[in-house]
């Protein structure tokens, strides 16, 4: 199988694509292929990885024009997995000569500055956590708080977010507005707002309603389609908007 991999030595933009021939066996993932390239063909290829089991969020990238986790993407199943997304430039502009039938196209996650090859600067994505102060300010106490299974269920989806950034990279609003906080941070705000154990929950909702937050969202729902953990940030944002306007 041929891999057409975006390269950028000094960052900012994709400078060219390199073509590699990889021996693909059943069960092999895109991450496995990238390691084969780095190990035996081109040690200069840079990409992030850690858990190889779809839990750490390191390996978010654009594969065949869909944001995915490389470690969870089976190469032989790529042809059958179609994901329909609302297009924007990074998802539509294909490199010359790419043949989707016979080649896997691997590019950096859109909407974040490219640092090198498949590595993007995640700072704008993570900075939102700090901006919105997405943490609990604990109260003194020595007992665990109670929470019924039903209350726990309210936040179940949202606590599963691995902060991989796939949603951020799939979002046409993030593509256009550098300042937009993005789906993951807003879903996380909603997670805290819905957590019945916390007393000052209102602040998370107010933070999410900042002008560069939920109001910018067009409810395109690309984020819901690409999320590897079924977090469905779009649903949370819809509710944030509703809570804000009532």
Partner 1 sequence: MYEYDAIVVGAGLSGLRVAIELAEHYEVAVLSKVHPLRSHSVAAQGGINAAMSENDSWESHAFDTVKGSDYLADQDVVEVLTKNAPLAVIENERWGTAFSRTEDGKIAQRPFGGAAFPRTCYAADRTGHNLLHTTYEQALRHGVQFFDEWFVTSLVRQGDRIGGVTALDIATGAIHGFAARAVVIATGGFGRVYGHSTNALINTGDGCAIALRAGVPLKDMEFVQFHPTTLYGSSILITEGARGEGGYLLNKDNERFMKRYAPDKMELAPRDIVARAIRTEVLEGRGFEGQYVHLDLRHLGAEKIKERLPGIREICMHFAGIDPIEEPIPVLPGQHYSMGGIDCNVHGETVLKGLYAVGEAACMSVHGANRLGGNSLLETLVFGRLVGQAVSKYLEAAPKPQAAPVDEAAFTVRQDLQHLLMHDRGETPAQLREIMQHVMDEMVGVFRTKKELETALREIRVVKKRFVNVSLGRSDERFNYALVRTLELRNMLDLAESIILGALSREESRGAHWRLDFPHRDDERFLKHTLITKTDDTFSVSYKDVNLGKFEVKERSY
> x/- string (CB under 8 A) for partner 1, residues 160-199?
x-xx----------------------------x--x-xx-
Nearer to partner 1, 27 or 97 (CB): 27
Instruction: Give the binding-site size for partner 1 (rule: CB under 8 A).
Output: 60
Q: Which of 33, 231, 237, 240 binds ligand SF4 (CB under 6 A)?
A: 231
Select the residue interacting with partner 1 from 14, 24, 115, 209 (CB under 8 A).
115
Cβ-contact 3, 106 below 8 angstroms: yes
How many residues sit close enough to ligand SF4 to count as binding (CB under 6 A)? 16
- Binders of ligand SF4 among residues 176 to 195 (CB under 6 A) are 183-184, 187
Q: Considering only residues 71-130, where is the footprint of ligand FES by CB under 6 A?
A: 71
Fill in the per-residue mask, 33 to 72: x = in contact with partner 1 (CB under 8 A), - = not in contact: -----xxx-xxx-xxxxxxxxxxxxx-------------x
By the rule CB under 8 A, 233 interacts with partner 1: no
Binding interface with ligand SF4 (CB under 6 A): 161-167, 183-184, 187, 226-229, 231, 233
């Amino acid at each position: 199988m041929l891999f057409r991999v975006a390269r950028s030595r000094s960052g900012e933009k994709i400078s060219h694509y390199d073509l590699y021939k990889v021996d693909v066996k059943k069960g092999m993932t895109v991450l496995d292929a990238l390691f084969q390239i780095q190990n035996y063909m081109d040690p200069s290829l840079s990409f992030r990885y850690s858990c190889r089991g779809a839990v750490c969020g390191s390996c978010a990238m654009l594969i065949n024009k869909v944001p995915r986790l490389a470690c969870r993407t089976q190469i032989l199943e790529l042809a059958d997995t179609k994901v329909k997304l609302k297009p924007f430039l990074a998802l539509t502009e294909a490199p010359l000569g790419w043949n989707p039938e016979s080649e896997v196209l691997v590019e950096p996650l859109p909407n974040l500055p490219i640092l090198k090859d498949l590595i993007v600067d995640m700072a704008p994505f993570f900075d939102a956590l700090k901006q919105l102060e997405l943490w609990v300010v604990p109260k003194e106490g020595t007992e665990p708080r109670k929470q019924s299974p039903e209350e726990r269920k309210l936040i179940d989806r949202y606590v599963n977010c691995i902060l991989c950034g796939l949603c951020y990279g799939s979002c046409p609003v993030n593509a256009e507005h550098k300042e937009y906080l993005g789906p993951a941070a807003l879903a996380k705000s909603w997670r805290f707002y819905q957590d019945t154990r916390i007393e000052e929950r209102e602040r998370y909702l107010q933070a999410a309603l900042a002008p560069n937050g939920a109001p910018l969202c067009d409810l395109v729902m690309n984020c819901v389609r690409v999320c590897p953990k079924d977090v469905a940030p779009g649903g949370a944002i819809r509710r944030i908007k509703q809570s804000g306007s009532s």
